[in-house]
Amino acid sequence: MRFIETKKLNDYIIGTGSFLTDNIVENFSERLDALEKVSLQSFSIENDKKFLRDVSAVLNVIVSIIYHPHISNKREEVIIRIEQAQQIGQEAFLNTIRDSKLWKAHDARMIPEEVYYYQHIDELRIYENRFIGFLIDLIDKELAKFSAFYLSRLPTLTSLDSTLDSSQVGSVIVDIDRLRRKTQFIKNTYFYREVSKGKPISHKIQPTNILLKDRLYRFCFRFYRSFARYEDLSATKRDLRSFYTILLFRELREAGFELVSQENGGYLFEGKDFSITLENAKDDALALTVKYHKLPDSPSRHIVGFHVETERQIGEVKLYGDDVDGAEMLSIWELSYADSEARSAVEASTEEELVRRLLASKISKTSADKTIYKRYCPVCGKRGVDTDEGIYTCSICTSSYMFDESGEDTSVWFRKIRKWGIS
């Protein structure tokens, strides 16, 4: 996720307060309606442009710091040839007298060929300057995310239906390229190369006197603090999980489900044909257990993970044992498979639409002719269906389903769909 999105996400999660930790069964609808409705996608290009202007300002300040940085003057004890020492202090003189290795016999006299000497060195790699180098790296990574995001939305011959105005997108890309060239110029300076040596500093920046009182360093420190809330990738994923959990609550209610219990952090929703349990899972994921009332002994279980980077990620969510039917990944821009090497994803105009597609793929059922569909996959149409305890799985697309023969007509419930478009 880009900075502008993570900042809004953080503000939203703070605004929800204790909603997801309180018991909300009795007044669920009222408390849900009281929450602000937010779309992370809805931020306009103007907000991004404002952030890029802020980046430009802080880069200008960093250039000023590079030309006039704070330095420390440290004393270092060295041994040098006597003719190189213009003068030595009393402490260096006494150390020289004590060190017999420095003295050589010249005729009848002992004369030191080398002496102890204290030289004063300007040290550039102070903590505050290492912070500036750290900030440069953060900005460079953020600009790379912006670049990938806007380039992916630049209208091309394969995306003629894009809703973004190409001239606006193009102008933002030009601004990003300019800023990235500036960061590369900064990273080629002696200052950056010197302060970047050695082990990186911790993300928990200490507010030293220089960072708080020097006008230029203070400007950079304040800019960094806007990043600090999301220095932990797991924290961002947990917030994104909370965001989508609330959207799932709304979508479940719209689909006729009612929250009936809340235990150990899990939420049980009951509907006409299905019950769904939402629980937090490891790796900051969300687990969905779906039970079809007419086939209660064979619930399906799904893992939904969340990725916060711009690029798509495959296989990031691991299957959590044999009881897991499938796994998907949600970002604020797309829903994709995480249990298949196939590059399949669905993009939507809103996060609500992504959640609607996700939920629909778990509770889809329709009438079906078992005679044919026990051999041919009703999702991809290919032959190659295996069965195990009443669960049919396609060896081609990996979709799985079960037949309900309790009524007059046979119907099929799709436990896992590996083909988007079901609504």
Q: 208-218 pLDDT, tens per residue?
A: 999 999 999 99
Measured distance CA(251)–CA(188) in Å, rounded: 51
Overall pTM > 0.75: no
For residue 90, give every residue at least 6 positions away whose Cβ sits within 8 Å of its Cβ, in sequence order, or none. none
Whether the pLDDT of residue 75 is over 80: the answer is no
Structure tokens, 300: 């399906």
Pairing of strands 326-330, 300-306: parallel
**Ramachandran area for residue 198 (φ above 0: left; ψ -120 to 50: alpha; else beta):** left
Structure tokens, 146: 């912006």
The per-residue pLDDT for 315 is 46
Tell me the CA distances in angstroms from 111 to 20, 92, 100, 106, one per residue in order: 81, 16, 10, 7
Quote the crossing angle between the two packed helices 45-67 and 166-187, to the nearest 10°: 20
Instruction: Name the CA dihedral angle for 324, 329, 335, 337, rounded to a multiple of 10 degrees.
Output: -60
The per-residue pLDDT for 317 is 55
298: closest CA among 415, 416, 417, 418?
415
**% helix, strand, coil for the chain, step of 5:** 40, 25, 35
Is 316 within 8 Å of 286 (Cβ atoms)?
Answer: no
Structure tokens, 254: 């719209």
Is 298 within 8 Å of 402 (Cβ atoms)?
Answer: yes
DSSP 305-365: EE--SSS--SS-SPP-STT--EEEEE-SSEEEESS-SS--EEE-SSHHHHHHHHHHTTS-E
pLDDT digits (tens, 9 = 90+) for 13-70: 989 989 998 889 989 999 999 999 988 887 767 788 888 999 999 999 999 999 999 9
The per-residue pLDDT for 422 is 42
Greater confidence, 115 or 243? 243
Q: State the pLDDT confidence band at 349, using cuts at 50, 70 and 90.
A: low
One-letter amino acid identity for 38? V
Is 392 within 8 Å of 374 (Cβ atoms)?
Answer: yes
Q: State the pLDDT confidence band at 118, using cuts at 50, 70 and 90.
A: low
Is 252 within 8 Å of 358 (Cβ atoms)?
Answer: no
The per-residue pLDDT for 101 is 76
Structure tokens, 143: 């600009």
The per-residue pLDDT for 280 is 92
Is 356 within 8 Å of 335 (Cβ atoms)?
Answer: no
Lowest mean pLDDT among 77-81, 100-104, 340-344: 340-344
Q: What proportion of the chain, given as a percentage, has pLDDT over 70?
A: 84
One-letter amino acid identity for 331? S
Structure tokens, 48: 């991004």
Give residue 59's Cα distance to chain centre. Answer: 24
Report the mean per-residue pLDDT for the chain. Answer: 84
Measured distance CA(219)–CA(131) in Å, rounded: 12
Is 8 within 8 Å of 43 (Cβ atoms)?
Answer: yes
Q: Strand pairing partners for 393?
A: 386, 400
Measured distance CA(303)–CA(289) in Å, rounded: 9
The per-residue pLDDT for 10 is 86
pLDDT digits (tens, 9 = 90+) for 373-394: 999 999 999 998 999 999 999 9
Measured distance CA(383)–CA(77) in Å, rounded: 81
Whether the pLDDT of residue 360 is over 50: the answer is yes
Is 375 within 8 Å of 386 (Cβ atoms)?
Answer: no
The per-residue pLDDT for 338 is 81
Q: State the pLDDT confidence band at 247, using cuts at 50, 70 and 90.
A: very high
CB atoms within 10 A of CB 242: 20
Is 114 within 8 Å of 82 (Cβ atoms)?
Answer: yes
Q: State the pLDDT confidence band at 72, using cuts at 50, 70 and 90.
A: confident
Tell me the CA distances in angstroms from 323 to 80, 259, 289, one per residue in order: 73, 24, 10
DSSP 59-78: HHHHHHHHHS---EEEEEEE
